[in-house]
Amino acid sequence: MVVRRRWRQRRRVVRRQSDVSRALAHARAAARLSMVDLGRALKLNPKTIRRWEVGEARPQERAWPAILAFYAHHAPAVAAALAASLGRTLPPVPAPITLDPQVASLVLARAADALDVAPKRVLEVLRAAAHAAHEAGVPIAALLRTVSEQGG
């Protein structure tokens, strides 16, 4: 017995670049990001970014705050241009936290005393940990929270 498959017409994907898709592509290019980098930062598949930029799809309404917040944090001028071109407002960006250098030195000295090492070694380890967290896309606060919960 021969089984015949029913023929199905494939749905053609319509690619129509819109103002939104052009604005997203321009913002990513101006921020000098690859689709992979942007997808990783927004926790999206790079193919989703490509579909947005070629006009196959549009970001969902709930995705816009994250998109604009990312650009506001990493490329403020790009974020402002993107928001203006889309008629949206930027989310407020928290001011960077500044720490008194004397307080930082005191914290390093106490950590060094607890470990019985030189403060310079603690500083080197903290810098390496911060760099590794940044490279992995992990916020320092999340790293500290996780390490604190692990105990030790």
Of the residues 30, 60, 86, the one at which a domain ends: 86
Mean pLDDT across the chain, nearest whole number?
Answer: 86
Residue 149 has a pLDDT of 80
In a domain, 108, yes or no: yes
How would residue 29 be classed by pLDDT, with cut points 50, 70 and 90?
A: very high
Of the residues 51, 86, 121, the one at which a domain ends: 86
In a domain, 9, yes or no: no
How would residue 6 be classed by pLDDT, with cut points 50, 70 and 90?
A: confident
State pLDDT tens for residues 107-127.
Answer: 999 999 999 999 999 999 999
Q: Which CATH number do you get for residue 53?
A: 1.10.260.40
Domain count within the chain: 2
* Model confidence at 106: pLDDT above 90: yes
Let me know the angle formed at the C-alpha of 33 by 97 and 57, rounded to the nearest 5 degrees: 110
In a domain, 13, yes or no: no
Calculate the CA dihedral of residues 138, 139, 140, 144 and round it to 10 degrees.
-80
**Across 75-79, average pLDDT:** 88
Residues 120, 75 share a domain: no
Residues 112, 71 share a domain: no
Residues 69, 37 share a domain: yes
Specify whether the CB–CB gap between 88 and 64 falls below 8 A: yes
Of the residues 86, 114, 138, the one at which a domain ends: 86
In a domain, 47, yes or no: yes
Residues 82, 41 share a domain: yes
Could you tell me the residue range of the domain that residue 129 belongs to? 101-150
In a domain, 105, yes or no: yes
As a whole number of Å, the CA-based R_g of the chain is 23
**Across 32-40, average pLDDT:** 92
